[in-house]
Each structure stands twice: as C-alpha cells, then as structure tokens.
Structure 1
C-alpha cells in the first residue's frame, strides 16, 4: 500500500491540476448533439475552451452564462435562466450539461432549484435533456468532475428496474462500458474493436471516440457535438448483459448504475500491461461464452516479446511520473511490471486508487514537486502532460507525453495506450526515450604521440608539430 504524502506548501507552482468544470465538460462532449453550459464568468469557460481546442485541435462547443460583477453579487438566477433559454432556443440540443464553477459555487447558486423554475417557465423545451452538476473549481480535479457528470447522467436519465420494463440480459450481446477520462479517443476505438471481436456490442458512456476523434463532417459547422453516445441509449442500459467500468474514478457511478438496473458489474482500474488486459480478455470470453480469438492471442505474444526486448533498457530504469490518479496508477503499474523503478509519483488530488499504486510514496502536489523529486532521486525518464516540457528541458531528461493537455504534438490525443498493442507501443516509446538520451557523441581520442593527420612532423620539424598540438588542445 502506497503512502500518501500531502502537499506541505500554501500554493501551487506550475499546477498539475485541471479543474472539475473542465472534466465535467469533457464528459458532456462525449454525448451526441450535446453542449456544456458553464454557469460562471466568461473567463471560466474561456479557460476550458482553450485547453480543449489546443488538445483536440477541433472546434469545441461550449457556452457560458457570462456573469458580470453585478449579477455575481446581487444574484445569478436570471442570468442562468436567460442562458438556458438562449441555448435551447438557438441550438435545439439533445442534451445540455449545466455545470457550476468556483464563482457560482462560492456565491451559493442552487442550480437544481433554478432548473426547476426553468422547466416551469419553458414547457416548450421539455424534450431537451438538461443535467445539472455541481463542479466547483476549488475542489477535486478533472477526474472527479468527469465522474460527477457521468453519475448525474445515470441518476437523471437511466430508469430503474422498478420504474421501467428493463431487464438485465434482455439484450445478451450488449455490453455497457463506463469510460474514464484517462482513455483517449484512440483507446476507445481500440476498446470497441476488442469487444466486437467477441461478437459483443459495446455501448460506451461517454463515447469520445465518436465525437472528438478528429474527423471532417459532411455537414457544415455544428454548434453541438457531432457523434457520441445518444441520450436515448441511457434508457437501454438496464437491458445489457454486463457493465464494464474502466477507471477507479468511475466506480461510484458504476455502482449507482448497477443499483438502478441490476446489471453485473466488472471493474478495471486500467488496461495497461499484460495482467490487466488478460483480466479483460478472460472477462469478455466469459460473457460471450466463446474462446479467445487467435488475433488477440497473437497480440499477447507480441507484447510478451516486446517486454523481453525492452527489459534490458527499462529494467531498473528510474521513472518520474505525474498524472491524475487513474492514469498515474496505470503508468506506475506498467513500469513496475517491466521492472522499472518509480522514483517520483505525483498527482493533483486525493483519490482512493492512490493507495493501490505499487510504489512506496505518492505525492499530492504540482510540477515543482515532480521536478524536485526527479532531480533528487536521479530520474532518467519523465512521464506527464505537455506542461512538463519545461521541467524536462531544465533537467535535460526525455519526456513521454501522456494525459491532459497535450498541445505540443500533433495527434497525441489520438494515441492508443491500452490493450496488448497499446501497451507494446508504450514500452517501445519508453525504451526509445532512454536510448535516445544515452546516445551521446563520443569524441575521438588523439594520442599525444600521434600528430594530426594533416601535419607532417618530418616537413615542419618537431617544434612546429608540438606547437600545433598545443594550439588545438591535444597536448
């Protein structure tokens, strides 16, 4: 069990943490024809939008109630009612994520009460699903905001067994998959293909692989998300044969879904490395009642070969990792599995999964803590988001970029990390990072007694040759 070391300074230097509203917005962006509405000042939404646009390199649908100084002090209910009315009337979305920010949480706005007033005043918008989520900036981070939004969707849109005709297993080939924020669009595509190889039909919630996978739409620009989980799919979650949850941050939401629908639940902290993927494969084989496809057995053998090939570089390698809790757990587990030594493990917020990370200590801190720990413990390789590039430059260490945001590499958000193939590529990238750092040019050695090739001692004399050697620094 890892020891959790809390922060011991009154401020953050180069923060690692991203906000809860950003995480909840990311979950809403995984729905079809949806839009997040941040209840707060205009800068709150601008911060999140800049991060999303730089990370995904796509236009991001995001709206704000744009509170000013007067409404922030005198009350923001009218601004929220007007903002909801404008979004519903102008865009006609299928779903709206109503998210609070630090400003409105400090003010004490009751978004559930205001939403009830909105429903009474605007019955013409009753078909539009609106899910309210409390996401203060000053508490939690990206993963907790994402999890809060997913749980709110389940609470508001998934009917219970007692109140509907849903029955677990009525659709024996359907598998619900609750996808944590550490999974990239590339991860979700790979996960879909893996589940479909067992002749099962995955229903991903939320599905960023469809809405933020980086594709050119046939239609013109849409102010809403294009692709993702349809809102209507929530009504059928109780008919599935089972539910898979990837990421410990979504365990409370998954348990809520299991309580409402009765579907069997299978938990996976992550899908990095050999052991975690073996568990997933055997779980899917048991649900489908069929043998493991030969293609997956081949991929497993390829991962085993990659572990052998990279062991001589990664065994005893000293890694410093900074990420949110779920991703930190995955990266540390893979590092330990290959024989590396985790000399620094830093995350932004407290989470229950941190105690299961196979390291001696996990620090709650920022990028300054990562830099100090990496320097003190003589790290050889860094893992973290694009904000760690400055740390890597100062320490003269290679950096494998992962997490959120990734803005200084094209297509980084599409990378596949999970599964046998994703784990194999991650091992190759880790080994190549170390290999490149160790390839320093070796200066040629010139003996004191060997003159420079273009000098001929017999022509210039001994003194001239000696002077030439002194001038070039060989003597």
Structure 2
C-alpha cells in the first residue's frame, strides 16, 4: 500500500492538474455527431481547445456559452438557451454535452433546470440529445470530469431493460487510454466473436483520419443507438478505477454485471482479460494472441536487464500513474517518485512507497537521482534542468507525432512499451560506456592498486 501524501502548497508552481470540464469535454468528443458545450467564459473553452488541438493535431469541435461578468451575476439561462439554439441550427448534432465550469458553479446556476425550461420552450431542439455533466473546476480533476460525463450519459441515455444479448459486451474506457489503445481493445474483443459497445470511443473520432467533408461536430465515435443498447449486454468491462461509478450505475439501472480492470498493461493483466473474453465467448484463444503472449514474454526477458534496479519518477493522472508504476515494477525497476494531480482511491495501490498530491514543481523537487522521468510534455523543462532522460506519457504530448496511435494495452502494446522504454535505458547505458575511452582504460590504475599508484 502506498502512502498518499496530500499537498500543502499555497499555490501551484508548475501545473500537472487539468480541469474537470476539459475531461468531460473530451469524453463527449468520443461520441458520434457530438458537440461539447462549456457553460462558462470564452477563456475556459479556448484553453481546452488549444490543449486538444496541440495533442491530437486535429480539428476539435468545442463551443461555449460565452459568459461575461454581467451574465454571470444575472444568471446564464439566456446564454445556455441561445447557445443550444445556435448549435442546433448550424451544426444539428445528435448530442450536445453541456459541461459546467468553476464560474457558473460558484454562481449556482441550475443548469439541469435551465435545460428543462429550454426543452419545453423550444420543440425545435427535438432530435438532439442534451446531456449535462456537473464539472466545477474546483472539485476533482481531468479524470473526474471524464468519469462524470460518462456517468451522465449512462444516466440520461440508457433505458432500463431485462433483455440480454450474450455476445454483446460494454467497454467503459478510461481517459488514460489513447485512441490506439481503444482500437486495440476493440479488435481483441471482436476476435472472440463478441460485439463491443465502447463508451466513449475516441478511436473513431480522434484517430487522425481525414474526413471526406467538413462537419461542425465529431465524425466517428460511439453512436447514440449503441449507447441505448448497453442495458442488454452480457457484461460491462470498466477499464480504469475511474470508470467504476459509471459501471455501477449501469448495473443498478439495467442489471448488467460488471468487471473492473485497473489496467490492461502487463502480462498478468492481459492474461486475465483474455481469459474473461474466452469464458464469455466459450471460444478458444485465437492463435495470434498466444503468439503475442510469447512475444511479450521474450520482450520481458530481453528487456529486464536494462530495467533492473533503475529508479523511475512518474507524474500522471491516477489511473495512468497506477498502470505505469506496476509496469515498471513488473520489469524490475523501482518507482521512487510518484506524483498525482488529485486524490483518487487507486493511488493507495500504486507501486511506490509514497504518492504525492502535487504539481510538476513537486515532481522536479523529489525526482533528483532518478534514472528516468515520466510525465507529459510539460515535464521536459524539469528533465533538462535535472539532466535526467525523459519519456513522455499522458495528455498533453505536443512535441511528438503520433501520440494518438500509441498502444500500451494488450500483449502487443505491452511488448512495444518494453521496447520503447528499454531503448531509453539502453541509450543511456551506451552513452555512459562511451565516456570510458581505450586510453582511459590503459592509464587507469589496477583495481587492487593502492591509492596514488597511477602514473
């Protein structure tokens, strides 16, 4: 059990934490023909827009109610009403995901009440689902906002049913999974003859494809029709502890049993996932996954020489921090510095003696002496100042290409992760060896020679 150390700083020096509204907006971006709407100032939306554009390098549909000082004091009903009508007229999305922000939550806007009044007043909004996720900036963080949006969609869109489809499986994907990860999970489930309904599905909307035409809403993602069928699935698989509340709500509402996987990276975790799919489908494990498992075992055998006794520092969202810490522990490395942006139940099970709730300033302060730093792109300055190798993980990663397609789940993803990180350790080992030149070896005194017995 890791000791979770709460932060006591009066201010954030170098932010690690991202806000809950941004997390909720990204979850809504995983829906087909969707458009997230942030109920707050224009600056709140602009910040999230820049963050997503830099990370995914894609067009991001994101709207705002554009609250000003006056409308914030008087109440945002008119702004929400006008925003919904404009979005319906210009974009005609299937889903509008409304996310509150700190300024409107502090004011106390009754957004759920607003939406009911607006619906009754404007029948022209018929045909567009409007889902509200309460996500104040001052409560929780990015993963909490994502989880609240998914929970809100299940609450609003999934009907109660007692019909079961034995070959259908719900997948609730956490925010720490890349579009590439989600695609790998889908292909694995489908290989067993099962039909996955993934919520949300970033692999369809933010996987980097070029659409045939421009649309003012998301193109690809989870369809509303599929969400409405989740109550008839045989099982719900939640990936990441952050998805447990959504899975429990779905179970309470529809009776669909749940299984939570805290990670899908690592040999044991992959074995458990594959075994579950084999039991559900009553099928043999496909030969390609048996071979991929063997390849992962070989990769772990080849790589453990370079991971062994290495000291690693990680700063990431709770579920990603948990996943990466256990990956490094499995490979023989030690996580000596672990930093999370906010509290979460999963932090107590991180593979480290302590987990600090803090920022990248705390990360830099406690990462001295480590052999590798792991965090998103905002950690690159700390790595340069400390002179420690840096491996990027998480969102935002804006100084590397192809981050949306990186895969670290399943046998194949874990294998590639071993190679990618192992190569960083190997490079440092070779760089150290190059400092020992043949002339230096020739002039060095014997190991057992007394002090001063050189030349």
TM-score normalised by the shorter chain: which range applies? Answer: over 0.9
Once the two structures are TM-superposed, the CA of residue 413 in structure 1 deviates from its matched residue by 2.1
2:336/2:353 contact within 8 Å kept: no
The alpha-carbon deviation at position 118 of structure 1 amounts to: 0.4
Give the structure 1 partner of residue 343 of structure 2: 350
Q: What is the match of residue 268 of structure 1?
A: 261
Q: What does residue 30 of structure 1 align with?
A: 30
Any conservation in 1 of the 2:197–2:227 contact (CA below 8 Å)?
no
Q: 2:370 aligned to 368, 379, 404, which one?
A: 379
TM-score with structure 1 length normalisation? 0.91
Q: What is the match of residue 418 of structure 1?
A: 409
In the alignment, structure 1 segments of 5+ residues that lack a partner are: 451-474
Give 1:13-412 correspondences, 5 Å limit.
Answer: 13-161=13-161, 166-168=162-164, 171-219=165-213, 221-375=214-368, 378-412=369-403
Partners in 2 of 1:279 and 1:423 — Cα distance? 14
Report the Cα distance in structure 2 between the residues aligned to 1:268 and 1:50, rounded to whole angstroms: 32
- The answer to whether the 8 A contact 1:35-1:61 is kept is yes
Distance 1:271 1:65 in 2: 38
User: 2:141 & 2:265 partners in 1: Cα distance?
Assistant: 22
Displacement of 1:443 in angstroms is 6.1
**Secondary structure of the structure 2 residue equivalent to 1:204:** strand
Distance 1:443 1:281 in 2: 47
CA distance in 2, matches of 1:209, 1:236: 20
Where does structure 2 lack aligned partners over 5 or more consecutive residues?
444-454
CA contact (8 A) 2:208 2:404 kept: no
Aligned to 2:447: none
Q: 1: CA distance between counterparts of 2:267 and 2:311?
A: 21
| Cα distance in 2, alignment partners of residues 55 and 446 from structure 1 | 47
Structure 1 or 2, whichever has the larger Rg, is 1
Q: Are the aligned partners of 1:397 and 1:437 in contact in 2 as well (CA < 8 Å)?
A: no
TM-score for both structures, normalised by structure 2: 0.95
Which residue pairs with 2:452 in the alignment?
none
Q: Residue by residue, what CA displacement relative to the aligned partner does 1:224-246 show, whole Å, maximum 9, x if unpaired? A: 00010011212211221211110
Task: Say what the alpha-carbon RMSD is for the aligned residues.
Answer: 1.5
Alignment match, 1:442: 435
Distance in 1 (CA, whole Å) between partners of 2:160 and 2:207 is: 32
Asked if 2 retains the 8 angstrom alpha-carbon contact of 1:167 and 1:261, the reply is no
Which consecutive aligned stretches of 4+ in structure 1 deviate over 4 angstroms post-superposition? 443-447
Aligned equivalents of 1:446 and 1:267: distance in 2?
Answer: 58
User: Helix, strand or coil for the counterpart of 1:14?
Assistant: coil
Superposition deviation, residue 445 in structure 1: 5.9
Shift of 1:358: 2.4
Q: Say which is worse superposed, 247-256 or 354-363, in terms of deviation.
A: 354-363
1:370 aligned counterpart, secondary structure: helix
CA deviation digits over 1:84-103, x for unaligned, max 9? 11111221110000111111
